[in-house]
Each structure stands twice: as C-alpha cells, then as structure tokens.
Structure 1
Amino acid sequence: MTATQSPLAPPPVSPLVLSAFWFGTAFHWLVLLLIVMPANVVHFVGEAQKGTYLGALTAIGAVIALILPPLIGAQSDRTGKRIPYIRLGVGVNLAGLVVMGLAATFLNGMSGFWVYVLGFLLVQFGNNYATAPYSALIPQLVPVEQRGRYSGVMAMLQAGGQLLGAVAAFALSLLHLPTAVFFVLVALVLLIPAIITMQGVPETAAPTTQAAGPQLSIGQLFAYQPFLWVFLTRVLFSLGQYSVQPFLSYYNKDVLHQAKFEESTSIMLACIIVGSIASALIGGRISDRIGRKPVIYVAGATMAVAAIALLFVPNFVTALVLAVVFGLGFGAFTSVDWALGSDAMPSQTSYARDMGIWHVAFVGPQFVSAPQGRLLDWGNAQHPNFGYTLVFGIAALFFLLGVIFVRNVPEKIHAKS
C-alpha cells in the first residue's frame, strides 16, 4: 500500500488528544490487574489457591476480549462511527467497576467471588466494546509517515497512566484506605481522559492514509502476510507479559520477602514504567526513520534477559534495577506497537474490524494466566519458589520467539531524512 497524503499534512487531531483514552485505560488495567485484583482474590479464596483463581479470573475475562472486538469493530465499520461505541463501552466499564467494588467491600467467600466475577465480566465487555473502534483511529487519521510518532506518544501516555496508577496505589495503601476508594479512583481516571478523546476526535474524519481496498474475509486477512506476522509477534509478546504480570505481587512477597508486598509491588511497577517512559517516545520516532523491526529486536532481547535475571536477584534493590531495564525494553516495544499494527492493515474499509482482530493478539493471551497460575502453584508446592522459575522462564522464551517472528514482517517504513 502506498501513502496518498503528504507527510507534512497534519492529522485532524493531536497525538495527546488521540492518546488520552489510552492513558486512562492504562491506569485502569494496571491498578485492577496488578494491585486490586490480587488482593481481592486472596480476600475471597485465601492464600493456598490465590494463583489458580487469579489466573482463572483473568482467563474468564479474556473470553470476552477474544470475541467482542472484531464483532464491534465490524459494526463500527458498517456504520462509519467510532465515538458512540466508545461512549457506550466506557459506560458499561464503569458499571462493572461499581459491581466489583461493592462485592469486594461487602461480600466474602465464594459467593462474593462470583459477584466479583460478574463485575469483572462487565468491565471486560465495556472496555473491549470501546477499544475496537478506538483502535481504528490511528490508521484512519494518521499518515503512515507519522505513525511512529503517534504510536510513541500513545506508548508514553500509556506508561504515564501506569506510573500514576502505581504511585496512587502506593499512596493509598500507605493510608490504609478502603478498597472502594481504589475503584472510585480507577473510574474517575478512566472517565476523564475518555471524555477528552471523545470530544477532541472528529467523528466525520475520513481515512486518507492508505489506498482503499476491498474488505477481506478473516481467512484472507490472515493469509495477508504483513498482518499474519504482526499478529503472531504481538501474541508472543503478550504471552510473555501475561505470564508474569498478574503474579508480581506474589513474587514480591514470596521471592523478595517483602512484608508490605503491595507497596513493594507499586515501587517495582513504578521502576518498570519509568524505564518505559524513557524509551517510548524516542523509540517511535526512531522507527519512523529506520523501521519498526530493529526497535523490536532490541526490546524483546532486553525483556527476556531481565525476566530471567529477576530469578537470581540477591535483594529488592537489585530487582528494582532490573525492573528499570525491563521497562526500557517494554517501552521500546510499545512505542512501535500501534504503528506496526496500523502498517499491517490491508484495507481502509475495515479498519475497526481488523484492528479489533489485531487487538485480540494483545488481550487473548490473558488466557495464559490460568495455566501459568496453576503452574505457579504446582511448582511452588514441589519446591519453594520453583513455580516462579517456571513462569518467568517461559515468559523469557515468549519474548525471544517474538523477536524471531517479527523478522518475517515486511517493512513498510523506510529511513527518512
């Protein structure tokens, strides 16, 4: 596909406005998945089965994340609308947060856990309902020559939202505030940036960056080599992320022996995010000049090495240094993630559907949390902390496979002076 718009022509929306919703979503998922949900699961089911139930809960939500985005994306393409879908999705997301907060505050045991699951399913439904049409905005509005820059800004705001989440979680845990406060904060930080994006994006903006082509069937889409390899690469990086991410709190408690593991997890997350902010914006700009793949080679190798090294750290301070290193790799990857996905779209007539399918490559691997959680519990039962060796080692393998697979992606962006 060739660009049809001058690289000097500015898109109809600024990268900060376009990325605002992703800032709120990043805060939302970091606080929920890494801080609130691990603690809530222990509250409902106890210590012995925490990994199994947390992994299962994450996998249950992934069912919706697999099915919904392509369906809603296709509907958004047919109607030519994006913002109404984002608006409805955010509303359902907020309703789910209310249900989760009420269950965690007033209920106990397995009966409370299943109410909590219901709320989480609403959260997943609403967030994915909004994300599929939202994902179409970069390929629809941004010229191919500027996608690295926009992807970098999106990665930077994603990291900023995560950093704010880690800092807020640390501060609130020190104050020993009720769980409900966390859910209120998550709802507000999701809603306000969403409003900024919905108000700032022109609903009638026409796609101008790719030659129009016929809408492909899903089978034809995966037969299109650029999309296939980008999809598989994102699956592998996401498998690595979700192999470790839900269990960081338990890692801090069991391996690093942190008594206040919620606070130490927040500090570790902050270090990861500071590293990712440092590499996010520059990675996107570099990719506009030299291509996406070299950035991903460095990112994947860095993340794999850091994941393995975390198993051998002698103390918490060393773990924090490795967290910064991991963050540098993660930020570099996310800085080109959206640009690489946008480059792989074969037709402007199905942006939302195809980006919804591409988004599945990110959220679908949440399923791995269930077997990885079970593997974690099994390994730890065989030998103290052996489960973490298995889980972190598998994560490193996924990152390395992602580096290998991305070599097959044909470059569409060439160096520019």
Structure 2
Amino acid sequence: MQDAASRPVNPWLLSLFWFGSAFHWFILLPILIPADVVRFVGEASKGTYLGLMLGVSAVIPLVLPPIIGAYSDRVGKRLPFLVWGVVLNALGVLGMALAHTYWPFFLAFLLVQLGNNLATAPYSALIPELVPSERRGHASGAMGLLQLMGQALGGIAVLVTGLLVGAGVLPAAREAQYLLVGVVLIGSAAVTLLNVPEPPAAQRSAAPALRWTALFLHQAFLWVFLTRALFSLGQYSVQPFLQFYLGDVVAVPQPAEAVSYLLLALVAGGTVSALIGGRISDRVGRKPVIYVAGGLMAICALLFLFAPSFGVALAIGLLFGLGYGAFTSVDWALGADAMPSARSFARDMGIWHVAFVAPQLVSTPQGRLLDWGNSVAPNLGYTLIFGSAVVFFALGVILIRNVKGVR
C-alpha cells in the first residue's frame, strides 16, 4: 500500500464519520437528553439527575479509548472497530428512544457511550497516520467543518421535525429525532468505510515503541493534553444546561426549540472560521490561532451572564461560534503534531481523547452546583457555572504557550 504522501486521502471522506457523530451528539446531549430527563424526574431535580447521568457515563470515554486504541495498535486494524462500535451505538440510541423511565434510559445511554468510544478511539488515529504533518491543518479544518455541519444539520432536523409534528405530518418529534440520529450515524460510517483505506502497517512497525508511563514525560503531549482538558471543562460546564438556562434566565417560552436556534447560531459562526483556521494554522502555526479562538470563547462565556434577551444570546452564540470553529479546526492538528511515536498512534490519540471526555465528569458537580445556587438565590447557579467556564477557557489560552516543539 502507498503511503499518505504518495496516495493522499480525501480529507472530507476521511472525517465524514465525525460528521455523523457530531449530528448524533448535538441532538442527544443538549436537546433530547435534557428534555427526557425533565420528563422522567421533574423540574426540581433536573440538574442533579442530568449531571449524574452525564457524569457517570463519562467514565466510559475516560477508560475505554486508551485500552481500545492500544489493542488496535497491536492488531494493526482501525476500521473493524468502527463497524462494531456503530452497531452498539445504534442499539443504544434505539434503547433510549424506547425508554419510558429514567433508569432504562440511563442504561441505554451507557451503551451509546460504549459503542461510540469503541468506534472513535481507533478512528482518531487516521489523521496522523494518513495525513502528512504539512497538510494536517487542512485535514483538521475539514474535520472541524464537518463536525460543525453535523451540528448544524442536527439543529435544523430538530426544528423541521417539530414543524412537521405541528402540521400533523409526524405523530411525535421525539421518536423521529432518535430515528434520524441512528440513520445519520450509520450512513456516515458506511461512507467512511467504503472510501478510507486501512493505514499501512509499515510506518507503525518502523517507529520506536513508547511506554504508557513515558507518554506524559513528552512535554508537548503533556501540555496539549492539559490545555485540551481545560477547554473541554469550559464546554461541559455549561453545554448540558443550555436548555435550562434559556428557560430560567432568558425566559424563552419553548426552551427545547430555542436551544436549537442558539446552537445553530454557534454553528453558523463556527462554519465561517473552521476551514479558514485550519489553513491559517498550516502557515502561521497552531498556537496563534488557539490564542485568538480561546480568548473569544472566554469573553463570550462571560457575556452570556448579561444577555438581556434571546436575540442578544443568539448574537453572543454567533461570536462564540467564531472562536469555537477556529479552535476546533486547529485542535486536532495540534494533537496530531504532538504525538511522540507512530508505533502507538491509536493508543496515544485514545489517551489524548480522554482530555475531550474526562471533563464530562464535571457535569455531575456542575449540576449539583446549579441546583444549589438556584436554591440560594434566583439564577445564582447559572452565574456559578458560566463563571467557571470563563476560568477554564482563560487557563487553556494562557497555558497553551507551554507546548514546546509545536508552532
């Protein structure tokens, strides 16, 4: 098999499964899951039970990707894991759709997490294995843009299904949305599997081996891991609770629909900056783009506390999206550049992937903090969780300068 330099892989087809996965998570996390949790447990405990569900389930992406990645490195295969992971993921989505109480819903979501991480841990190694370093900004930008497009179409799908229910075309929006999640996830995986080759094993066998314990002694990897975790902490401090924020603070009459508009505004801004950010980073380096993008995200998280109306919240979401899109377009390229050895790309990208998902554990204490703060004073809980997001984003921007050997 030819190497990536002589046989380039189309970056859009390479990252197409990220499109389906983004569509999947966009509809599940901020829209379907919060609405179902309220339906199952009521208003008074919604933050606690949502935080519990997301926090406990985050143990799976915390533990599984490095283990599956290491096994994928050993057997020399990436794509079979995508097949079986998507099957389990789709079964979990079906279980969530059929659930009528909280605990079966919770268990089905655990299966979703298990399948999605089984699929994505080896899949994460494909960009560093199939794309040369000088083109990774472009590939990372394509990946970021596809993720944002998946989120955009997820938001549009939620709005359209709601309209179709209102017009009497569909009997229920919830079941139609779960069905769409499964169809898009399976379809994007099928296109990826048909168009992306297994990476050549020769480049892995020729690379030096690196122990697990030595990985975090590699300074570039250590700081990329820590800063990515900080940005994820900022994101997960507020993302699961946006629907509650719009209903309680901004006082929109239909928060489940309004959160779709807010997230679409974020995606619109991100789409503008995603592909441009990746290409710019190939010329000027990854870190300058992250300084600007992360700084804008921190400012916007602060501004959300003072949004007097839904229109202003939409404008802030658009600005946040500009930062988020640029950050997403560069983030994967920076992580790939920091990998110390081609021998263990899947394992090491799986460990780096922990920095994305371990911060989901913050949803449990943040959910408790939200309910506690709101019990002390009206909407104090939202001030606390948005304020903590500002701190996390700002720390990520400040500490990215410690990444040595990567522009």
Structure 1 length-normalised TM = 0.93
Aligned to 1:37: 33
- Cα distance in 2, alignment partners of residues 303 and 134 from structure 1: 28
Aligned to 1:195: 190
Aligned to 1:396: 390
**Equivalent residue in structure 2 for 1:155, among 144, 148, 155:** 144
What does 1:129-208 align with in structure 2 at a 5 Å threshold? 129-176=118-165, 177-206=172-201
Q: 3-state SS of the aligned residue for 1:276?
A: helix
- Is 1:300–1:329's contact at 8 Å kept on the other side of the alignment? yes
**Which amino acid is 2:266 matched to?**
I
**Which amino acid is 1:188 matched to?**
V
Q: CA deviation at 1:212?
A: 4.6
Q: CA deviation at 1:412?
A: 3.1
Aligned to 1:98: 94
Change (3 A) 1:260 1:12: same
- Cα distance in 1, alignment partners of residues 279 and 23 from structure 2: 24
- Cα distance in 1, alignment partners of residues 347 and 404 from structure 2: 22
CA RMSD of aligned residues (A): 1.5
**Which amino acid is 1:224 matched to?**
H
- Is 1:58–1:366's contact at 8 Å kept on the other side of the alignment? yes
Gaps of 5+ in 2: 166-171
Aligned to 2:282: 288
- Cα distance in 1, alignment partners of residues 113 and 242 from structure 2: 21
**Which amino acid is 2:95 matched to?**
V
**Quick check: 1:15 aligned with 2:14?**
no
Deviations 1:79-134 (A, max 9, x none): 1100101100000001111111100xxx2xxxx21111110000000000011100
- Is 1:11–1:142's contact at 8 Å kept on the other side of the alignment? no
- Is 2:76–2:201's contact at 8 Å kept on the other side of the alignment? no
Aligned to 2:83: 87
Q: CA deviation at 1:346?
A: 0.6
Q: CA deviation at 1:167?
A: 1.0
**Which amino acid is 1:329 matched to?**
G
- Cα distance in 2, alignment partners of residues 42 and 13 from structure 1: 44
Change (3 A) 1:212 1:244: farther
Aligned pair count reads 399
**Which amino acid is 1:38 matched to?**
P
Q: CA deviation at 1:173?
A: 2.5
Q: 3-state SS of the aligned residue for 1:214?
A: coil
Q: CA deviation at 1:263?
A: 1.3
- Cα distance in 2, alignment partners of residues 249 and 172 from structure 1: 18
Change (3 A) 1:359 1:52: same
Q: CA deviation at 1:199?
A: 1.2
**Quick check: 1:348 aligned with 2:342?**
yes
- Is 2:129–2:199's contact at 8 Å kept on the other side of the alignment? no
- Is 1:213–1:346's contact at 8 Å kept on the other side of the alignment? no
Q: CA deviation at 1:12?
A: 3.5
Q: CA deviation at 1:211?
A: 10
Q: 3-state SS of the aligned residue for 1:407?
A: helix
Q: 3-state SS of the aligned residue for 2:15?
A: helix
Gaps of 5+ in 1: none
- Cα distance in 2, alignment partners of residues 90 and 10 from structure 1: 31
- Cα distance in 2, alignment partners of residues 173 and 61 from structure 1: 28
Aligned to 2:168: none
Aligned to 2:113: 124
* Aligned residues with identical type, % of pairs: 58
- Is 1:173–1:262's contact at 8 Å kept on the other side of the alignment? no
- Is 2:246–2:252's contact at 8 Å kept on the other side of the alignment? yes
